[in-house]
């Protein structure tokens, strides 16, 4: 049995080596500072550090020291929300001028959700998914309370049918194309099409999609989208989030919830009345956190020359290989909560086991860094720019080891 296992592992090892050798994104790995002798699978919480970041942050600190106020314009700080937004936009299928960076995903969500609801004043329902991420749930409930609306939540696979059946009541659909727990993905395009047919506005939270899953915001005619940048986009702890505004929402009369001065058409005129900028700048709120913005802008260089379609292919190759390794090494001992069907997968794999907490701790002791979502899920993000197939094999091998090795319960 042991001999047989070793032979199987050898097969997987040579397969991993072969896949790594032909991975077109292998060059990108050198653009990151990765922990020595560990396998980092925590990008669902915090992407690793791109090596271009420290020097750029130092440069910004030194511009502050030497150039003081003039650096706001001379060092390009004032325009950075748009410039950085455009860079993020290339990974979201958004044309230049439709994405701005700044604030947090939570703040942007509140801001655009109110704006979206104001576009459909005659409708009373905000439609979300049952598996909403906590902050999405809280903000949706808060906006509903403030505007006197009702919230309805349905499983993501029912969104299209619910929109077809009761779409004329629905003001806004708030969708998350990747389940933050299980990593299950569904088609934002299908949801957007059904919403359009029903006359509902679409808001997408892309935190678990940005940088790993194509979302084609322009082509899918999404109204508003938000997302954080510290997960797959590797912008750093608390890095500025982004908001996407469909071009059709650049010059209409509606207002964002948070009409901050930097989103004004003429911010330096300090006018008594708020007039929104007639472009995506209206999603700017207050002054941007420049040191974090500079870190994010430098981090995005790690994606230079790489398309989101290439990233998706590598991502699926890594998760395919995870399934192949799990079939041989874990069979029957755990349940993989992520759907096996490729178009139903996001960027991470979730493994279900009642001892998830203990197993994640044991794995960390052995150099495999995953994380946990209570009650019983272990999550392993497979960042396509930094992870190899050999490392995926190591994750599964170590998981098989800690499963065999764990103390008998009780």
Q: Which is nearer to ligand PLP, 313 or 372 (CB)?
A: 372
Minimum Å distance from CB 196 to ligand PLP?
Answer: 23
Minimum Å distance from CB 175 to ligand PLP?
Answer: 10
Minimum Å distance from CB 308 to ligand PLP?
Answer: 18
Binding site for ligand PLP (CB under 6 A): 104-106, 133, 135-136, 176, 180, 205, 207-208, 228, 241
Minimum Å distance from CB 136 to ligand PLP?
Answer: 5
Q: Which is nearer to ligand PLP, 229 or 388 (CB)?
A: 229
Just list the catalytic residues: 133, 205, 230-231, 379
Q: Which residues pair with 106 in a beta bridge?
A: none
Q: Which is nearer to ligand PLP, 56 or 105 (CB)?
A: 105
Minimum Å distance from CB 213 to ligand PLP?
Answer: 13
Q: Which is nearer to ligand PLP, 76 or 289 (CB)?
A: 289
Q: Which is nearer to ligand PLP, 41 or 63 (CB)?
A: 41
Minimum Å distance from CB 108 to ligand PLP?
Answer: 8
Q: Which is nearer to ligand PLP, 381 or 386 (CB)?
A: 381
């Amino acid at each position: 049995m042991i001999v047989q296992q070793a032979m199987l592992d050898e097969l997987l090892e040579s397969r991993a080596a072969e896949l790594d050798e032909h991975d077109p994104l292998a060059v990108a790995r050198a653009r990151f500072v990765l922990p020595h002798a560990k396998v980092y699978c925590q990008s669902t919480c915090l992407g690793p550090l791109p090596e271009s970041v420290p020097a750029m942050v130092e440069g910004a600190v030194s511009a502050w020291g030497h150039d003081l106020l003039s650096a706001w314009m001379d060092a390009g700080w004032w325009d950075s929300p748009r410039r950085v937004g455009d860079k993020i936009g290339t990974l979201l299928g958004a044309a230049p001028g439709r994405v701005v960076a700044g604030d947090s995903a939570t703040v942007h969500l509140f801001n655009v959700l109110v704006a979206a609801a104001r576009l459909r004043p005659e409708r009373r329902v905000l439609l979300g998914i049952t598996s909403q991420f906590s902050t999405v749930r809280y903000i949706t409930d808060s906006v509903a309370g403030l505007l006197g609306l009702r919230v309805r939540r349905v499983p993501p696979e029912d969104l299209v049918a619910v929109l077809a059946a009761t779409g004329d009541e629905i003001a806004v659909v708030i969708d998350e194309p990747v389940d933050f727990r299980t990593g299950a993905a569904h088609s934002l395009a299908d949801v957007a099409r059904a919403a359009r047919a029903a006359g509902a506005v679409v808001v997408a939270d892309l935190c678990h999609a940005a940088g790993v899953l194509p979302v084609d915001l322009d082509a899918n005619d999404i109204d508003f989208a938000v997302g954080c940048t510290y997960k797959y986009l590797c912008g750093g702890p608390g890095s500025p989030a982004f908001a996407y505004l469909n071009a059709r929402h650049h010059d209409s009369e509606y207002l964002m919830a948070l009409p901050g001065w930097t989103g004004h058409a003429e911010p330096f005129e300090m006018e008594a009345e708020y007039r929104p900028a007639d472009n995506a700048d209206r999603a700017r709120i207050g002054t941007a956190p420049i040191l974090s913005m500079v870190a994010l802008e430098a981090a995005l260089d790690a994606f230079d020359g790489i398309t989101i379609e290439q990233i998706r292919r590598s991502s699926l190759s890594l998760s395919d290989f995870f399934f192949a390794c799990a079939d041989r090494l874990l069979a029957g001992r755990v349940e993989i909560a992520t759907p096996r069907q490729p178009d139903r997968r996001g960027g991470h794999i979730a493994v279900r086991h009642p001892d998830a907490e203990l197993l994640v701790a044991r794995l960390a002791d052995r150099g495999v860094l995953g994380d946990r979502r209570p009650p019983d899920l272990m999550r392993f993000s497979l960042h396509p720019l930094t992870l190899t197939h050999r490392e995926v094999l190591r994750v599964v091998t170590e998981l098989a080891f800690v499963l065999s090795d764990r103390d008998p319960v009780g």
